Chains A and B, each alone.
Chain A
Amino acid sequence: MKKETWKELPTGTVNIHAGNSVSNLTGTWRSGRRPEFIEKNCIQCFFCWLFCPHFAILVKDGKVTGINYDYCTGCGLCAEECPTKEKSIVMVKEEIKLAEGRKK
């Protein structure tokens, strides 16, 4: 994100770029598990979209098409609330990559 200088910034801490938080990728602090979308089981009930706190369910042309891992934090609400008999979203383990020099 480009940092604005005082010449460009509007007076009085006004943010004129509505919705620019999309550059903040919350997926980078995922919990160590991530949901996997299985399309053939999906009945398009949109419960995963409804219960995703981080707006990480991809919807295209009125259909759930997958998960946006840029924002998914791996809370597991989508997999838990998926109503199909054979789950359309399952949680899988994922290795956490720590930043250089960080210990667990």
Chain B
Amino acid sequence: MAVKLKDLAQMEDKLVAGHGMCLGCGIPLIFKMILRATEDPIVVANATGCLEVCTTIFPRTAWNCMWVHSAFENAAATAAGVEAMFKALKNKGKIPADKKIKFLAVGGDGGTYDIGIQSLSGAMERGHDIVYVCYDNNVYANTGGQRSSATPLGASATTSPAGSKSPGKVQKKKDLTKILVAHNIPYVAQASPHRWQDLYNKAKKAFEVEGPAFLNVLCLCPTEWKYDESQGIKLAQLAADTCAWPLYEVENGKYKINYKPKEKKPVLEWLKPQGRFRHLFKEENAWMLEAIQKEVDRDWEDLNKLAEISGA
């Protein structure tokens, strides 16, 4: 059944106003949807990152649900531990057997792609019934914009700055979603905040599925991407239209593409509004643009093939 925004708007907020995130930040848009996707009580384990720092400035907290702070590297381990304790208490009869609690681990791309991948991989392999959400804004935005392994090819970050000798980051972005698919977990998906229904459905599926689930969500970051903050949602749309951030899900190893643009736009359109790619439009960096387009085309083709094999 299709869900209506009107009904969602009247649900209780689990993340409330008064957090200190930047204007135009994409993180609250994501968690507004995800936290509404389940009606059961929820325990959140939050890795260090923008979300954690901005929502819990002592003595205040913007969380209206149970929330645990974790270090950068162990959000998944924390959530897994809480889930294991919940199961043990159930077995001992200290918690009623029909009690349902959802466990959510949250991390940014730094806390997931780089520092937290070890504990994430462990928790996924052990098969804990948790949902891990990575809000991927492509950079360590919280500490001043250092490059992470999620920073795309050609982007300028403070530790991969563009200049006369450098065209920005020269390495390709790590494909974490596919790494998680390789864990053979029941549900992996990639989403974006501009398609809210898609994001909501994916979060719902992730919560309902028995066993671990992983969501990788593109997160808008006006501060580090350097664009006009009011254009954020249009930019997310462009990321999907240019196939730079394809929206797909993998259910029990079967790929399904959720959004195929009618006309695949050139990747230029996604890069142009963002200040972090400004240097690519200089003459000497034209080769980089070609390289980026080539990579995006190849990835999109691969994804289509995978979906074809899966019979979707």
Q: Identify the A interface with B (CB < 8 A).
A: 1, 3-4, 13, 15, 17-26, 31, 44-47, 49-56, 59, 62, 68, 70-71, 73-77, 79-81, 91
Contact = CB atoms under 8 A, between A and B. Distances in A.
A56 B23 contact: no
Contacts of A21: 16-19, 55, 57, 60-62
B234 A53 contact: no
Given A54-B19, A54-B23, 12 more contacts: A3-B59, A15-B58, A15-B61, A19-B16, A20-B60, A21-B16, A24-B60, A31-B23, A46-B5, A53-B21, A62-B6, A77-B233
Interface stretch (B25-33, B137-145, B258-266): B25-33
B64 to A, nearest CB: 4
Contacts of B5: 45-47, 49-50
Contacts of B63: 18-19
Interface size range on B against A: 35 or more
B273 interface: no
A41 B27 CA distance: 29
Contacts of A26: 17-20
Contacts of A74: 23
B91 interface: no
Contacts of B21: 53-54
A75 B233 CA distance: 12
B17 A56 contact: yes
